[in-house]
Amino acid sequence: MSRVHTDLDELEKKLLDKPTTVGDVSRILTSVVDKLNAMKRKAAESIGDELDAARVTKRRTDHLREYDTKDQNLQTLWRKKRLDRILVEYFLRCGYYDTALKLAKHSRIEDLTNLDIFLVAKEVEESLSNHETAQCLAWCYDNKSKLRKLKSNLEFKLRQQEFIELVRKNKRLEAVGHARKYFVNLEDNQMFSVQKAMGLLAFPPETEVSSYKEMLDLSRWQLLVKEFRSENFKLYQLNNYSVFTVTLQAGLSSLKTPQCYHEDTKNADCPVCSQYLNDLASKLPFAHCSQSRLVCHMSGHPLNEHDHPMMLPNGYVYGENSLVKMATENSGKIMCPRTKQMFSLTDLEKVFVM
């Protein structure tokens, strides 16, 4: 809008000047019309984006309302759809885009996921992996005002990487021109990085000086990918961790006990005791149990007044029902599942828990 006002002010000055040619007035009016058409096009795009956002919001709100029903079948279907949503998001974050698209299409949940955001991010990440900055810079330009509010350094880091690549190709004069053009109006925390980058001009690309060798390392491109991913999540207010990861960790932590990491106390019915989940849960905290309970190692059922805890002479405790069942099937003999020792029913002692 400010550019339109500028052209109108110029037109007003031209009309006040003597003499004014028809060509000057026509040129200014043409410029005003072009800018108004550009404004109209951008306004249409903005309205379209807002309508799409409103449609998606309504679709997701309706989806949440679908759970408010007493029909068990509908609730089961809703939970299945929720699981599919969580899996689609996880696949997108892991880079399994084709799998995510197929699952979203199969479950008809395209409007309930952030497919468009991740697909745009996919193109940008691929270009950065190919050592190209143009697409990421275009993304920064499209989201310039939002990134400024987030105090993002992504564009600065991209320009810095462009400078480094010019030095790597031994185009030092172009690198100096690049620095003069883009390394202006710097923040305090950016000045040190620029000073360090300018030091590259004094060293060859194959330098062994650690600080400058690190700047010339191609692994910096992967750091830019991670930086872009982080800024993209902040821009759309997405968490750094997927819902699937958080849910899985919470579930494993709620079931994890010290017994899950001892071969003689593992329970076949416990998810954490299984091989793969046991490894995943290794760094998670143990479950906080304010009230503990005894569980029979043989049956997996709780030990209570209906199934008394009974101790064998070797000190191991099992449920009375399981021991009686074993004795009935083995002519009154009981074999300890852990030590393989043989006992009889008369050897059992009842355990009392205070």
Say yes or no to pLDDT of 3 above 80.
no
Give the Cα separation of 232 and 56 in Å (integer): 20
The pTM assigned to this predicted structure is 0.67
Give the Cα separation of 255 and 233 in Å (integer): 31
pLDDT band (50, 70, 90) for residue 89? very high
Give DSSP secondary structure letters for 245-309: HHHHHHHHHHH--GGGGSGGG--TT-GGGSHHHHHHTTTSPPP--SS---B-TTT-PBPBTTB-E
Range 11-35 average pLDDT: 68
Say yes or no to pLDDT of 87 above 90.
yes
Any idea which residue has 């029903």 for tokens? Answer: 69
> What integer pLDDT is reported at residue 264 of this predicted model?
77
Long-range contacts of 252-256 (CB under 8 A, 24+ apart): 252/277, 252/280, 252/281, 252/284, 253/281, 253/284, 253/285, 253/286, 253/287, 254/287, 255/287, 256/281, 256/284, 256/285, 256/286, 256/287
pLDDT band (50, 70, 90) for residue 8? low
Say yes or no to pLDDT of 326 above 70.
yes
Give the Cα separation of 249 and 236 in Å (integer): 24
* Residues 69, 80 contacting (CB under 8 angstroms): no
> What integer pLDDT is reported at residue 226 of this predicted model?
92
Range 147-157 average pLDDT: 91
Segment 238-257, tens digit of pLDDT: 888 899 999 999 999 999 98
Closest CA to 296 of 284, 308, 288: 308
> What integer pLDDT is reported at residue 1 of this predicted model?
60
Give the Cα separation of 328 and 135 in Å (integer): 75
Q: Which of 25-29, 92-96, 250-254, 267-271 has the lowest mean pLDDT?
A: 25-29
Range 193-215 average pLDDT: 88
- 150 contacts: CB under 8 Å, gap ≥ 6: 231, 234, 235
Q: Which two tokens stand for residue 304?
A: 């209570």
Give the Cα separation of 332 and 344 in Å (integer): 6
